[in-house]
Amino acid sequence: MKKILAMTVVMLAAMLMVAAPAMAGNLITSGDFEAGSTGFTSEYTLVTEANNTSGGESGLGTLDVEGAYAIGLDPYGYHRLWESFSDHTNADGTGHMMIVNGNEDATPPPVVYQTTVTGLIPGRDYEFSFWGATSYPTAYAQLELWINDEYVDTYDAPESLATWAQYVAPAWTATSDTGVIKLVDVNTAHTGNDFALDDISLEIINYPSDITSIKFYDTNMDGLKTGDTESGWLPIPFWRIELWGAGGTEPFRVTYTGADGWYMFEDVPVGDYIVKEGVGGGCWVQTFPEAGFHTTTVTGDGATIECQNGFGNVCKRCVTGYTMGFWSNKNGKAALKAVYGTDCDAPVIVPEPYAAVSINEVLAMANLANARDMCVMLKAQYVAHWLNVNVKHADYAGAAVIIDGEVVDYDAELAAAVAFIEACEADPTLCDRTKAGEYKDFFDGLNNNRFPVVEYYENMCDVPWASED
């Protein structure tokens, strides 16, 4: 078999777009408190009346009570010493928030807020967040975040009054499908420690993924990246690869294979995608995948996605020959006369390695393709192939023939077949029927265009994008 040469190339720069982790939607029920005191529990006392002229421990309002909370529109409406401000999302004062007077001197401190979230995906990261504000300028709240009874982080309330600031906890990894979330105020000061919460959220973190695979020259045309790099496959550089969003009308991104045949789309956001290869044109033929493209889904787990087996291609030799039937009937005679003249008995045709013969003699040989004599039959098949090469100019030289999945060097196989015919003619006892049958199949497959004829890697068709920047 002809040795396949490796190709040294320089990788083209990939055109990449970088995507940041994305959030998928709040999993906490009533995190904005617009439905009132629902969707959560608290070990604090719920106050339902908004009054800042009387009530409480000192007559300063109904929330002038340690370890109490209300779902209301404005902290000032519950305590006349607190700042007046709207909830985080509604500046017009129509939105609700959780208004809290922190507990003092309790061991352990009571839970301010607790909720249970189900349907989590074990192993995936989640982001917990809320918006917090301070209503009184002393002894600012310190809320510990616990999930499934494991400490996660501590939130320090802002010192600036009536100013909403978002708190985002470190990423938390789910270990089961349920998360019990608790906020515990560990500041036990009597004076101060007054705050508000709003827009509590837990969202799965959707990390982008890299999508990668290889573009290979499928030398043995088995559709797989199998075998060694001489008989099975070799990488194809400079090939255009396209990433399409599901339902897209144009590529979402484009990149090119490197010197090793691999490509990569980095930081692809969550979604469904189709990976296509550029159309090579000419004699390029795709051998894998059967559908012509790969489909894949970025789920948000951040794992690298490899499109299995990538894209397989070969460059087929775009030639065909005429069949045995053509050369043994009037059509074959007409083709020969057009090349060699009308005298069908003149010795003008030379099917090497034989002596000069006439058109009629060649046709007579071709008509013996089904002869019982293996040597005669094989010679007839060879003559028909010789006519394809020398009269029809079907150029098979320097190519590979794929026979039953095996890569066969055309030049070497042809030389061996001719040598076998010569040996058989010189000594019929040397005409082994099994070997003769193999050579007969070789010629018959070519004459009837059954065997793929492909270029070797070093002779492959030009890659259309090799000159693109």
CA distance 295 to 185: 49
SS (H, E, C) 352-409: CCCCCECHHHHHHHHCCCCCCCHHHHHHHHHHHHHHHHHCCCCCCCCEEEEECCEEEE
pLDDT of residue 13: 32
pLDDT of residue 21: 60
CA distance 257 to 240: 7
pLDDT digits (tens, 9 = 90+) for 255-276: 999 999 999 999 999 999 999 9
**How buried is residue 286: exposed, middle or buried, by Cβ count under 10 Å (0-12/13-18/19+)?**
middle
Domains (range + CATH), the chain: 22-206 (2.60.120.260), 209-315 (2.60.40.10), 324-451 (no CATH)
- Average pLDDT, integer, range 185-197: 93
pLDDT digits (tens, 9 = 90+) for 54-112: 988 889 999 999 999 999 999 999 999 999 999 999 989 999 999 999 998 778 999 99
pLDDT digits (tens, 9 = 90+) for 300-335: 999 999 998 899 999 988 788 888 888 888 888 898
For residues 469 and 265, which has the higher predicted lDDT (pLDDT)?
A: 265
Does 14 have pLDDT greater than 50? no
C-beta separation of 202 from 128 below 8 A: yes
On the question of a cis peptide bond just before residue 428, with omega within 30 degrees of 0, the verdict is no
pLDDT of residue 220: 80
For residue 167, what pLDDT band results from cuts at 50, 70 and 90? very high
- Average pLDDT, integer, range 211-217: 94
pLDDT digits (tens, 9 = 90+) for 341-391: 888 888 888 787 777 788 888 888 777 766 667 888 888 888 889 888 988
Percent of the chain clearing pLDDT 70 (strictly above): 92
Strand duo 209-217 + 311-315: pairing: parallel
- Average pLDDT, integer, range 172-191: 95
